[in-house]
Amino acid sequence: MKRAAWFTVVGFVVMVAAMVPARPAFAGPASITLTVTGGGAVKFTSGDNTSTALAAGAPLTASIRVTTKNGGGGSIWIDSPANPTGAGGATLNLALITVTCVDTGGSGWLNGGSATLVPGGPSAACATLGAQVNNKTTTLRVTFTMDARTVIGDVWSATPGFSLAGTAF
Amino acid sequence: MRLAAVLFTAAAVFGVAQPARAGLSLTVEPLVQELHVSPGSSGAFAVKVTNGGTEAEKVSIEPIDWTVTTDGSLQFRRTDLANAHSITRYLSVPAYQFVLAPGQSREFPLSMRLPVSFSTVPTVYWGGFLVRGASVAKSGVGPAGTVFVYETVGAPKAHLALKAMRVTQSGSSGGVLSARLQNDGDAYARVSARLLIEQGGRVIQDRDLATPTIFPGALRVVNEEIKNLPPGEYRAELSFDYGTDVILTGSTDFRIH
């Protein structure tokens, strides 16, 4: 029988082992701090359908300093308001906006990702916190970008109701 | 009732290219609370919210439900009364909006009252609140945190089963561990998971995995990237502690070519 060229699975074994009673089953995070150290008010601007359409020509960004004291396991996500109406009366579909979270601190325990905004509700996780993260700090860069091919000419400024949220499970 | 004391602080500064300082700051404590309230009874625990920023903050508290997908992703939604396992409708706080001055805190009870008609069948429920902070003076992004509440009625059976486990090579010096877990009990499983990579009986990698709660009947697929593995024979050992008096462990041997 020809064996797989580069990989072999021998099988897997499951055991249920007795353990010392009263051992804590799960340690939730004892402390986590998020600090947005730079960014802008939520202002979307689009004059045509070819250019970048956020924050007067530049993507809206924010830098978040994340500090944990004890434990871990959680996520960071974005809670959005309903689709805003611009100065010209056009509705901005927030579902066209993607938020990307990058761990610029290279922590290894805060795993960046991306999520699409959900009008009037919470997005999926934009970043996840690893387990057992103790007394560490890193920086998360959050960038809002929009599919410029689909935008329409209008200005939506200082949109209220966005929240950068942290959750532990 | 088991107390999982957790603390969350979120702080935000707004304004383009501003120097680092905490203009908006929100601290919510705890983030997770486990309750054991009988039908017809009530329970409560203290929630503390602090504005650690430099400007006044409008705090709003909103009921929220969530679920966990098969891949372990958290999905949030507004209160979903159609969810038979949601207890959010039974949760309350004394005030759902208030203003905190810079440095000010407010502590209040988060209460849960279960009606007499509530099912006594041993099982678990969950719900919670989203606590948001916003500037009183201007619009923009604000910090937020969740308070998750778990409720256990009776003494439901807790059991996890490891259905499958394998490692697949990825690239020239790494692999991806895939494992499939099934919560075939009636209790939720808040899991502490650990992965060991061994070679020749020696542990060469040891890490804790963040695995969100596995609810009754749910399947969980764990995918974990393993890096820095030169060609050779290895053993992956995955263990799950979910609060019972046993640890569930699985292992598989694999080869990197």
Q: Mind listing the pLDDT tens digit for each residue in A120-130?
A: 888 989 998 87
Mean pLDDT for all residues in chain A: 67
Which positions in chain A touch B249 (Cβ < 8 Å)? Answer: 14-17
Extents of the domains making up chain A: 31-168
Q: Which residue of B has its CA nearest to A144?
A: B141
**Average pLDDT rounded to a whole number, residues A14-35:** 50
**A40 at interface of B, judged by CB pairs closer than 8 A:** yes
CA distance A37 to chain B (A): 4
Asked whether B28 and B49 are in contact (CB, 8 A), the reply is yes
pTM for this entry: 0.82
Between CA B163 and CA B161 the distance in angstroms is: 6
**Average pLDDT rounded to a whole number, residues A26-32:** 49
Q: Which CATH architecture has domain A31-168?
A: Sandwich (2.60)
**A158 at interface of B, judged by CB pairs closer than 8 A:** yes
Cα-Cα-Cα-Cα dihedral of B182, B185, B186, B190, to 10°? -60
**């054991």: which residue's tokens?**
B36
* Residue B212 amino acid letter: P
Q: Which residue of B has its CA nearest to A31?
A: B7
Which candidate from B14, B143, B164 shows the least CB-CB separation from A40? B14
Between CA B239 and CA B222 the distance in angstroms is: 12
Between CA A81 and CA A45 the distance in angstroms is: 17
Q: Is the ipTM of this complex over 0.85?
A: no
Q: Tell me the sheet residues that pair with B63.
A: B129
Between CA A134 and CA A143 the distance in angstroms is: 26
**A74 at interface of B, judged by CB pairs closer than 8 A:** yes
Which candidate from B146, B165, B245 shows the least CB-CB separation from A21? B245
**A81 at interface of B, judged by CB pairs closer than 8 A:** no
Between CA B166 and CA B143 the distance in angstroms is: 40
**B41 at interface of A, judged by CB pairs closer than 8 A:** no
A48 burial via Cβ count (<10 Å: 0-12, 13-18, 19+) = exposed
pLDDT at position A157 is: 63
**Average pLDDT rounded to a whole number, residues B68-79:** 84
Q: Tell me the backbone φ, ψ of residue A148, rounded to 5 degrees.
A: -65, -15
Which positions in chain A touch B211 (Cβ < 8 Å)? Answer: 73, 131
**Average pLDDT rounded to a whole number, residues B238-245:** 89
Domains and CATH numbers, chain B: 8-153 (2.60.40.10), 160-256 (2.60.40.10)
**Average pLDDT rounded to a whole number, residues A15-21:** 52
Tens of pLDDT, residue by residue over B76-94, are: 877 666 678 999 999 999 9
